[in-house]
Amino acid sequence: MGSAGERKRASRIIIGTRGSVLARWQTSSVAGALRRAHPDLEVEERIIVTQGDLVTDRPLAGEGGKGLWVKEIEAELLAGAIDLAVHSMKDVPGELAPGLALVAIPRRADVRDAVVSRSGSELARLPLAARVGTTSLRRGFQLRGLRPDLEVVDLRGNLDTRLGKVAQGVVDAAILACAGLDRLGLADRISERLPVERMLPAVGQGALALEARADDEEMRSMCAALNDRETAIAVGAERALLAQLGATCRTPVAGYALLRGDKVVLEARIGSADGTKVLADQAVGAWRQAEEVGRGLAEALLSRGAASLLAGG
């Protein structure tokens, strides 16, 4: 196959994705939207295995963090083997690989985290010392703050696997993203949708990232119809926070922004693994300076000791 600059695809593109059921659903959704926007377009979907897919026997937080779910897909983009990548935004590092860019961010789905419990109980009604599964340090420290009695355990596997472990009683409950459950038609499994005031989401949660080569103006133009302005502004503030903190999608950082009139409001929380130390802050600024708002909030948190918490202190 030719280099990135040689292969022009006015009528055919290749989208790269992970092979999970959710990743394929998300990619098919984007492919369908592109076909509707460009009726003559032929779209091929190509599955790419990432490091995150291969690490199944130990917590991901110990695997270096950056790019676990995207690095191999980005390599295919840079090589010109695919034209577009579709990721869950919360899996995308704060800084992209050189030569790549986010060319569209579609409208965000539900940003909240879900409690999926075997009994159907909400978080507050789970038994004393209940076992609650999650792979996320962010969810872990906030869970421990809400219910210090809970036993928070690592719960790996794809969505079906984790739901199965709840049903089998391996854990009493799991904390999962509402967006993924909704997208796969599994909303009936949700026992409670946790308000963001109680469980602040991950940076980019509920949003999709459409990534292409930075110099591919044709792909940027093709994807423009899928971009949602409000989502892109809010996610831009969140990702600027993440990048300025020097954090990754595998560190205990929660960040959520929304637009209120001409302002962007950004909240952040960083916590220790045991939930005993939490830094929380908020910043407000003009939406046109959304990324500056994110960087400013990060600096405020760093001045209060965020670096120690991010390092596991």
Query: What is residue 4's predicted lDDT score, i.e. its pLDDT?
Result: 42
**Residue 10 reports pLDDT greater than 90:** no
Lowest mean pLDDT among 111-120, 191-200, 262-271, 273-282: 273-282
Domains along the chain?
12-106+207-227 (3.40.190.10), 113-194 (3.40.190.10), 238-305 (3.30.160.40)
**Beta bridge partners of residue 70, listed in sequence order:** none
Query: What is residue 11's predicted lDDT score, i.e. its pLDDT?
Result: 87
What is the C-alpha separation between 221 and 255, in angstroms, rounded? Answer: 29
Q: Which residue has the higher pLDDT, 95 or 269?
A: 269
Q: Work out the pLDDT band at 273, boundaries 50, 70, 90.
A: confident
What is the C-alpha separation between 29 and 202, in angstroms, rounded? Answer: 22
Q: Which residue has the higher pLDDT, 274 or 214?
A: 214
Query: What is residue 255's predicted lDDT score, i.e. its pLDDT?
Result: 97
Q: Classify burial at 24, counting beta carbons within 10 Å of its beta carbon; exposed 0-12, middle 13-18, buried 19 or more.
A: middle
**Residue 50 reports pLDDT greater than 90:** no
* 3-class secondary-structure state, position 32: helix
Lowest mean pLDDT among 149-163, 205-219, 280-294: 149-163
Mean pLDDT score, 205-210: 98
**Residue 260 reports pLDDT greater than 60:** yes
The Cβ of residue 10 has, within 10 Å, a number of other Cβ atoms equal to: 10
Q: Which residue has the higher pLDDT, 248 or 85?
A: 85
* 3-class secondary-structure state, position 30: helix
Q: Work out the pLDDT band at 67, boundaries 50, 70, 90.
A: low
Q: Which residue from 18, 77, 84, 87 is spatially nearest to 52, judged by alpha carbons?
A: 18
Q: Which residue has the higher pLDDT, 65 or 221?
A: 221
What is the C-alpha separation between 178 and 194, in angstroms, rounded? Answer: 9
Query: What is residue 259's predicted lDDT score, i.e. its pLDDT?
Result: 97
Annotate 171-238 with DSSP letters as a single string: SSEEEEEHHHHHHTT-GGG-SEEE-TTTSPPPTTTT-EEEEEETT-HHHHHHHGGG--HHHHHHHHHH
pLDDT, one tens digit per residue, over 76-123 is: 999 999 999 999 999 898 889 999 999 999 999 999 999 999 999 999
Alpha helices in 3-118 (DSSP H): 21-37, 51-54, 71-79
Average model confidence (pLDDT) across the chain: 91
Q: Which residue has the higher pLDDT, 6 or 44?
A: 44
Query: What is residue 153's predicted lDDT score, i.e. its pLDDT?
Result: 96
**Residue 132 reports pLDDT greater than 50:** yes
**Residue 164 reports pLDDT greater than 50:** yes
Regarding beta strands 100-104 and 42-47, do their DSSP bridges make them parallel or antiparallel, or are they unpaired?
A: unpaired
Q: Which residue from 94, 74, 102 is spatially nearest to 17, judged by alpha carbons?
A: 74
**Residue 59 reports pLDDT greater than 70:** no
- Given the structure tokens 């996320």, which residue do they identify? 136
Q: Work out the pLDDT band at 65, boundaries 50, 70, 90.
A: low
Give the active site residues.
91
What is the C-alpha separation between 48 and 69, in angstroms, rounded? Answer: 10
